[in-house]
Amino acid sequence: MSEQLISTPVASIADKAQSLSSAKVEYNIVDFAQSSQGFGIKLFPSQRFFLKVFEKLPLDAVTKDIEIRDKFNEHVVKVFTEEDFYKYLLDNGRISLPYADYCNTPIIQVQFAMGRRASKSTMISIFVGFKLYQILTIAHPQDYFEILPEDSINITMTALGQDNANKLFKKFTGILKPSPFFRAHLLEDPNTNELKIWTRHDLDNLKNRSRKPGAHSNSINVLSVPNSPGVRGENNVFVVGDEFAHCNSGSKSTRDKPLDVSIYEALTPSVAGFKHPSAEKQEKLGVTFNAIPNSPFGMTLLLSSPNGKKGKFFEEYANAFRLKQNSYSLAIQAATYEINPTIQPAYLKSEYNKSPASYSQEFEAKFTEGGMNWLQDLAVFYAAVDVRIRPHERVGAMNRQYFVGGDIALSSDGSAFALAHWEPYYKHLQISYCDEAWAYCENLEEKFDTISGVYVVDYIQQRRSGHGEYSNQSTLMIEDILDWLEDIYAHYPIRFGCADQWSGEIIKQMIRTRGLDKRFEIVNHNATINDSQYKLFSMLLHSGKLKIPNYPELLNELLSLTVEHRPNKIINVEAPPGGHDDMFDAIIRALWLCFSHNSNNLALASSEGINLFNNELMIKTAGNQKPVSEAHYRMLQKVNHQTHLSVRNPKRMVMGRRPSRAR
């Protein structure tokens, strides 16, 4: 565009801008987004609704076209008009103000908690683009806003890191540049993260020029920048924070000065300086916004998937509900599948498989507590329990390959070892289900006598100092731990095993003296590897490919586990304060090895860069220990899941619904 405009007299460009900007057609945000003179975007009904809300437009009370789908975007469960959808959000505590109160309140900020893949960048681009359209219909915006003629008018968008800032800017400019309305106001192509825009007043000042305009000849600048303590914003008429709840995820944020607070305090104050003038001045300048005199024009828009009940985003979101109209803001919460009807059910199911708790936050846009229970669907959980498994018996089938996982501690927490194998011909029998499976699971009979491949946890045992046969010991002895491990290897045909890197080189040497070092590895389990193991366990459980023993201590431990959401979509699963998670840690390591071997995942390397399964392929990549491939988590995309919370029905446990069996 630049070269073409350089050879075009600015006078003709100014005349074109004058004719477009002063045209009698007045667009609202929805019309402008869909108009050929604007962005030419066909909006989803939910997008149209939220854009109307942003601009306080009248809501449709007749047309029912807003479809609300189930959590996997498969089935329509409700259909609303715009008015009814707003009431639905209000009644469910997902929007902070009744619409009449909202329309009568000067709003300076909107907090929009929305799920991932819910078209945030499109919504941001339309919102910012429409605000630019409104400003450019004013011949001399500085005069309208009563600021100095030489002051610039800026719009700043922030994002997580430079790559995301670039993507957001590319999306915005990709929508803006083809628009006929804006073409006359763009004399230069944008650079990496800044777009310069010339008002009609700017163009009039350049009418005698026929070449590229000089520096600072434009009044409006749009910037897209990564979150940083150095972000500054003078004369911001609009501030947009993309994924603002996750600002503190990087190393630039500190406990004393959280990054989200630094950015918010640096960028938002200048927004208050932009307001509509008196009615007389609006009429004099020919502005037809129908704006309330002296009401705010500038605004801060924070859009993000939640990141727990913490940080500046949640603080502002909660304040909107607590202070209502006195917050001068609006808070909204909407799930991915309520905004974007094109999202694939298979994708949503695969994300749910990895971690239902994470799914609630990332796709349903719910603010979860930092220590919420990890395993929440009790029907799925108890369906995985098989009463036929004897978790302490040490007898293995010679035609199966077993994998052992260990969690070793001598004091405080306990030590545990678990074994798992892949069973390709597992038969689901009526007598295999526990009482709670009958209580929680509907249509359990449909699984009877079916055969499928599952991962079976054959053996799990823990030993803890001060308990049981070790009640008189304050610590466990390393030799006792190794005797235990050696006994397990003597009773099962074990392919390989691993444990966390406890005591480092010392225990490695002791394992070597027992002759187990070729089939058992001490591995440094970092946060990335742990995350892969947690999500693998969840995926196997929720896809019906896991069987665990009916061992009360194990079941209680698993159900007590809590999940914490960390930066970069990493989760951490552990026992609550005072609890234990040693059996769980042992199980996920055994399953990790078994699943990786069964999936031919040769990227599973030891700390010395050698394939754990003694394959001829040597792993020479840096970092050595690799997480289980992301693709493996999506292997069961078409599995049907329950879309409601489990309900316990003791009536299904009565005798006659299932045959009696030996306890």
Whether residue 107 is predicted with pLDDT greater than 60 in this model: the reply is: yes
Whether residue 577 is predicted with pLDDT greater than 60 in this model: the reply is: yes
CB atoms within 10 A of CB 318: 16
Indicate the SS3 state at residue 304. strand
CATH number (domain holding residue 640): 3.30.420.240
Q: What is the Cα–Cα distance from 47 to 120, expressed in whole angstroms?
A: 10
Do both 41 and 118 map to the same domain?
Answer: yes
Q: What is the Cα–Cα distance from 347 to 634, expressed in whole angstroms?
A: 8
Residue 625 contacts residue 633 (beta carbons within 8 Å): no
DSSP-assigned letters across all residues of 55-95: TTPPPPSS---EEEE-TTS-SEEEEE-HHHHHHHHHHTT-B
Q: What is the Cα–Cα distance from 92 to 261, expressed in whole angstroms?
A: 29
Do both 118 and 182 map to the same domain?
Answer: yes
Structure tokens at 328: 């001068």
Residue 95 contacts residue 330 (beta carbons within 8 Å): yes
Q: Which residues, at least 6 apart from 359, have a Cβ–Cβ distance to it below 8 Å?
A: 71, 348, 351, 352
The residue that leads in pLDDT, 435 or 639, is 435
Whether residue 618 is predicted with pLDDT greater than 80 in this model: the reply is: no
CB atoms within 10 A of CB 192: 10
Give the H or E element holding residue 155.
Answer: strand 153-159
Residue 46 lies in a domain: yes
Confidence of residue 435 (pLDDT cuts 50, 70, 90): confident
Cα–Cα nearest to 441, from 387, 385, 372, 359: 385
Whether residue 625 is predicted with pLDDT greater than 60 in this model: the reply is: no
Residue 353 lies in a domain: no
CB atoms within 10 A of CB 602: 17
Residue 633 contacts residue 542 (beta carbons within 8 Å): no
Q: What is the mean pLDDT of the chain?
A: 82
Residue 151 lies in a domain: yes
Indicate the SS3 state at residue 625. strand
CB atoms within 10 A of CB 458: 26
Residue 116 lies in a domain: yes
Do both 534 and 594 map to the same domain?
Answer: yes
**β-pair partners for 196:** 221
Amino acid 631 reads: A
Average pLDDT for 220-244: 89
DSSP-assigned letters across all residues of 545-580: -EEEE--HHHHHHHHH-EEEEEGGGEEEEEPPTT--
Boundaries of domain holding 608: 360-647
Q: Within 13 Å, how many C-alpha atoms sit on residue 455's CB side?
A: 29
Please give the distance of CA 122 from its chain centroid, rounded to a whole number. Answer: 17
Three-state DSSP string of 509-545: HHHHHCCCCCCEEEECCCHHHHHHHHHHHHHHHHCCC
The total of structural domains in the chain comes to 2
Taking CB atoms within 8 Å and a gap of at least 24, the contacts of 394-400 are 394/459, 394/487, 394/488, 394/491, 394/492, 395/491, 395/492, 396/421, 396/458, 396/491, 396/492, 396/493, 396/494, 397/493, 398/493, 400/493
Percentage above 70 pLDDT, the chain? 82
**pLDDT score, position 212:** 64
Interstrand relation of 385-386 and 546-549 (parallel, antiparallel or unpaired) = parallel
Structure tokens at 584: 């769980």
**pLDDT score, position 10:** 53
**pLDDT score, position 14:** 53
**pLDDT score, position 651:** 57
Q: What is the Cα–Cα distance from 545 to 591, expressed in whole angstroms?
A: 11
List pLDDT tens digits, range 239-255: 999 999 988 866 666 66
Q: What is the Cα–Cα distance from 516 to 194, expressed in whole angstroms?
A: 61
The residue that leads in pLDDT, 639 or 537, is 537
Do both 427 and 548 map to the same domain?
Answer: yes
Do both 117 and 179 map to the same domain?
Answer: yes
Do both 379 and 246 map to the same domain?
Answer: no
> What Cα–Cα distance (Å) separates residue 244 from each residue in 158, 269, 314, 388?
8, 17, 10, 49
**β-pair partners for 641:** none
Residue 652 lies in a domain: no
Do both 331 and 367 map to the same domain?
Answer: no
Do both 279 and 424 map to the same domain?
Answer: no
Domain end call among 320, 335, 350: 335
Report for 122-136, 190-204, 346-360: range of highest mean pLDDT = 122-136
Confidence of residue 412 (pLDDT cuts 50, 70, 90): low
Q: What is the Cα–Cα distance from 514 to 329, expressed in whole angstroms?
A: 67
Whether residue 644 is predicted with pLDDT greater than 50 in this model: the reply is: no
Do both 77 and 209 map to the same domain?
Answer: yes
Whether residue 21 is predicted with pLDDT greater than 60 in this model: the reply is: no
Strands across the sheet with 220-226, in order?
Answer: 194-197, 220-226, 153-159, 236-242, 299-304, 109-114, 329-334
**pLDDT score, position 437:** 87
Spell out the alpha helix ranges (H) of 340-474: 345-354, 356-362, 378-383, 435-440
Do both 431 and 311 map to the same domain?
Answer: no
Residue 655 lies in a domain: no
List pLDDT tens digits, range 44-102: 999 999 999 999 999 999 999 999 999 899 999 999 999 999 999 999 999 999 999 99
Percentage above 90 pLDDT, the chain? 43
Confidence of residue 628 (pLDDT cuts 50, 70, 90): very low
Do both 369 and 321 map to the same domain?
Answer: no
Do both 261 and 368 map to the same domain?
Answer: no
Residue 653 lies in a domain: no
Residue 369 lies in a domain: yes
List pLDDT tens digits, range 472-497: 777 788 888 889 999 999 888 998 89
Q: What is the Cα–Cα distance from 559 to 378, expressed in whole angstroms?
A: 9
DSSP summary character for residue 213: P
Interstrand relation of 299-304 and 109-114 (parallel, antiparallel or unpaired) = parallel
**pLDDT score, position 421:** 94
Q: Which residues, at least 6 apart from 472, have a Cβ–Cβ distance to it below 8 Å?
A: none
Domain end call among 301, 319, 335: 335
